[in-house]
Structure 1
Amino acid sequence: MPSAAERTRTLVQSTCSARLVVPGAAAAGEHELMPEARTVGTDGEVFLLYPAASPAVRAATHAQDDELPAVLELTDVAPVAVPHRIRGRAWISGWLTRAPGVAAPGHMMLRLEVGDIYVDDLWGDASVSPEDFAAARPDPLTAYETELLQHLAAAHDGHVQGLSHLLGPRAGARRVVPLALDRFGLRVRCRDERGSSFDARFDFPAPVADVHGLRRAMRALFDAAER
């Protein structure tokens, strides 16, 4: 399974929603606190891009040379329609400063020096050290996951439904929907005859490194379901 540090790093570098909580910006609208872009630096710091006039930039500017305490909240929502669509949340707290000269005119890059990290997702909840976060790498499929899951649901629904044959005692689930995908395997959300939902996980024989490896792994999984 992916480590908690890898899962958090994947969330930061994915397209999931993010919101920065900073003192002095509590009255700002939700969209004003969402960075336009985010990335992770070589030392594990998180860089957040905002319009120069945004509340987050004003708060960091007002703090002048002092480090401003802040929390980056991340919310991961399944890209396909399933019951209980929130797949995970993460909170990265630390100290916010400006990084002048990095962003294009009209924007400002903010630097979040990471202190505490907590993730709560489909795998469970865990704390992550800044050192582990800095050393981790995002899942290699994260840039494609949304498109791949939507493609599976729309174009390969018959194959996805066939995975119910691999569910052992719960085989024959009424509905199976692809929920999450990473280099280790595929997670689906199932609905049984009583209307109750449960998750099932199908691990690949070996971790995949790219989309080409994923195609082979998925083909093997669908073939196994048809036997």
Structure 2
Amino acid sequence: MQPSPAEIARTLAAGHLPAVAHIACRPGPIPVRHVTDAQGRVLLLVPSEGTLAAALRPQDGNDDTALVLDIKDVPPMATSPSLGRVWISGWAVRLDGDDARAAALDYADTDACGDLLDIGESQSLYRMEVAEVRYERHEKLVEIDPDDYAEATPDPLRAVEFDLIADLADHHTAEMSDYVRRQLGGNARPDDDPKVVRMDRYGFLVRMGGRSARLAFPRPVTDRHDLAHLLHPILCRRCCDSSAA
């Protein structure tokens, strides 16, 4: 299995990557801090007195502002391929009172930054209702149904992907190389030097010179601890073989 376009879009939009906002009838793009809540709605953390707050100020009697959030993937390693780019279009409205407090808790689930304590003073929270989602990779543009986007969940390994790949490269190169060769069977070459370059809940991508291969986990993983449990027989194969003996 591989992540669906909706899952990749939710992963890119989750809040671990930089984003810029294109706001209707305003100069831009403008850098913006954001996360998404459990329904995939975008929460924007905005300085109350600044360019972005001024751009988000409703016009012509409206209570919301149209914008497009543009988010590009930042691969974990120099050799890692990009997951692409997502554009999320919708309308943002400033939150106050109980709505702002509840949204701040949602924001903290992804990014528990100190600026959340200043909401209502130096900081403001806006919630963007998603109307359109477009995902682009390898110059191919995919329109994603907003309901499919909302029902998808961000990949649980994305925020720690760099750490996971670096740990495999630093401490488990031989074990991973043996595992990849076993999985590839007759497709493996004597000069292959497999390196893990991307990882997600469904598996990982390995690069061998100019070739690459995707290897799937037996099941999707739920978090970092679940991944460690799943990889234990691979990374500690000698221990498992000794126990079996």
Does TM, normalized by the shorter one, top 0.5? yes
1:169 pairs with 2:170: no
1:10 pairs with 2:28: no
1:65 pairs with 2:62: yes
**Are residues 39 and 198 of structure 1, via their aligned partners in 2, closer, same or farther at CA, if it must alter by over 3 Å?**
same
Instruction: Look up the equivalent residue of 1:203 and give its one-letter code.
Output: A
1:37 pairs with 2:34: yes
> Of residues 81, 85, 88 in structure 2, which corresponds to 1:89?
85
Q: 1:54 aligns to what?
A: 50
Question: SS of the counterpart of 1:208?
Answer: coil
Instruction: Look up the equivalent residue of 2:174 and give its one-letter code.
Output: G
Higher helix share: 2
Question: SS of the counterpart of 1:35?
Answer: strand
Could you tell me how far 1:175 is from its partner in structure 2? 4.2
Contact 1:94 1:112 in 2 (8 A): yes
Contact 2:87 2:135 in 1 (8 A): yes
> Of residues 212, 224, 239 in structure 2, which corresponds to 1:211?
224
Q: 1:76 aligns to what?
A: 73
Instruction: Look up the equivalent residue of 2:207 and give its one-letter code.
Output: R
**Are residues 204 and 96 of structure 1, via their aligned partners in 2, closer, same or farther at CA, if it must alter by over 3 Å?**
same
Contact 1:79 1:150 in 2 (8 A): no
> Of residues 178, 187, 190 in structure 1, which corresponds to 2:205?
187
Contact 1:82 1:177 in 2 (8 A): no
Q: 2:24 aligns to what?
A: 23
**Are residues 41 and 106 of structure 1, via their aligned partners in 2, closer, same or farther at CA, if it must alter by over 3 Å?**
farther
1:92-171 superposed matches below 5 A: 92-101=88-97, 102=100, 104=119, 105-121=121-137, 126-162=142-178, 165=181, 166-167=183-184, 168-171=186-189
Could you tell me how far 1:130 is from its partner in structure 2? 1.4
Instruction: Look up the equivalent residue of 1:8 and give its one-letter code.
Output: A
Question: SS of the counterpart of 1:143?
Answer: helix
The 2-side partners of 1:126 and 1:217 are apart by: 32
Query: Larger Cα Rg: Structure 1 or Structure 2?
Result: 2
Contact 1:19 1:74 in 2 (8 A): yes
Greater than 6 Å deviation, 4+ residue runs: none
Contact 1:4 1:127 in 2 (8 A): no
Question: SS of the counterpart of 1:10?
Answer: helix
Instruction: Look up the equivalent residue of 1:67 and give its one-letter code.
Output: D
> Mind listing any 5+ residue stretches in structure 1 that lack a counterpart?
192-196
Describe the superposition over 1:67-107 as per-residue Cα deviations: whole angstroms up to 9, x where unpaired: 32211111112112206x43321111112222234252211
Could you tell me how far 1:151 is from its partner in structure 2? 1.9
Instruction: Look up the equivalent residue of 1:65 and give its one-letter code.
Output: N
The 2-side partners of 1:15 and 1:114 are apart by: 18
TM-score in terms of structure 2 length? 0.73
Question: What is the aligned-residue RMSD (CA, Å)?
Answer: 2.9
The 2-side partners of 1:210 and 1:66 are apart by: 39
TM-score in terms of structure 1 length? 0.78
Question: SS of the counterpart of 1:144?
Answer: helix
Higher strand share: 1
Describe the superposition over 1:48-73 as per-residue Cα deviations: whole angstroms up to 9, x where unpaired: 11212332221111536253221111
Contact 2:19 2:72 in 1 (8 A): yes
> Mind listing any 5+ residue stretches in structure 2 that lack a counterpart?
101-115, 238-245
Question: SS of the counterpart of 2:162?
Answer: helix
By relative contact order (CA 8 Å, sep 6+), the higher-ranking structure is 2
The 2-side partners of 1:54 and 1:189 are apart by: 45
